[in-house]
Amino acid sequence: MTKPPLVAVLSGAGVSTDSGIPDYRGPNGLWRRDPEAEKLVTYEYYMADPEIRRRSWQMRRKSRDLQAGPNAAHRAIAELERSGVPVRVITQNVDGLHQLAGTSARKVLELHGNVRNVVCTRCHARGPMEDALARVDAGEEDPPCRRCGGILKSATVMFGERLDPVVLGEAASISKACEVFVAVGTSLQVQPAAGLAGVAADHGARLVIVNAEPTPYDELADEVVREPIGTALPRLLRDLAGTDV
């Protein structure tokens, strides 16, 4: 019996739009179009200005991200893992929907963190976002860390913060080792995440790009799919589960 290929999936904002989550961070996203809104997720402003933090907590209260559920693309990736194909997910998204769809948490690398948790900027204690939002609902406009009194923030990478070098290193290792690399719902324009597609191709992986718009890596790709992600990705992954590379 032929050993199934190691499949790496790099997922971007386009994977979660069918779940009702807009692309906040992209070139045309809210954070880029509205400088005042961008301040709410910029580390320097957030740490220096209590008013920015208060507005950030109100934004989180109104966000639909925590209410969103997985869609067909998330479920297709989880199903690929269940089929016995070794899968690693490298995601630029912060919504946690890959795990909610059933993909093993240990097989998901979150380059930009996870909005479902909060972290203390002083002692680094972590906790559920829902608990922090309940405190805001109860009247705490800028809830401090209950352990040390430090400033709490979403456990996501804000503008002005660097990516976790350990997570990025693991993502690079997976990109070098995989036999198939699927970049889905990402423009492949934001480094260093975008460069992982090139790393995979340079190390001999079959590169497949599923995205509505052209990307800088299309010429390197073995296959480029422009169809809607919700139908194209499940079909592509079913084929991967049943055939050789």
Cα(61)–Cα(128) distance, integer angstroms: 14
Distance set, CA 145 to CA 101, 119, 123, 157, 227 (Å):
30, 8, 9, 18, 45
Structural domain boundaries in the chain:
1-21+70-112+162-245, 23-63+115-156
Q: How many Cβ atoms sit within 10 Å of the Cβ of residue 156?
A: 21
Cα(5)–Cα(87) distance, integer angstroms: 9
Query: Which two three-digit tokens encode residue 128?
Result: 């559920």
**Residues annotated as catalytic (active site), given as ranges:** 112
How would you class 61 by CB atoms within 10 Å of its CB: exposed for 0-12, middle for 13-18, buried for 19 or more? exposed
pLDDT of residue 245 exceeding 50, the answer is no
Question: pLDDT (tens digit, 9 = 90+) per residue, 19-52?
Answer: 988 776 555 565 566 667 888 999 999 999 999 9
Question: For 1-21+70-112+162-245, which CATH class?
Answer: alpha beta
Chain position carrying tokens 């920015």: 52
23-63+115-156: same fold as 1-21+70-112+162-245? no
What is 23-63+115-156's CATH number?
3.30.1600.10
Q: Does the model's pTM come out above 0.85?
A: yes
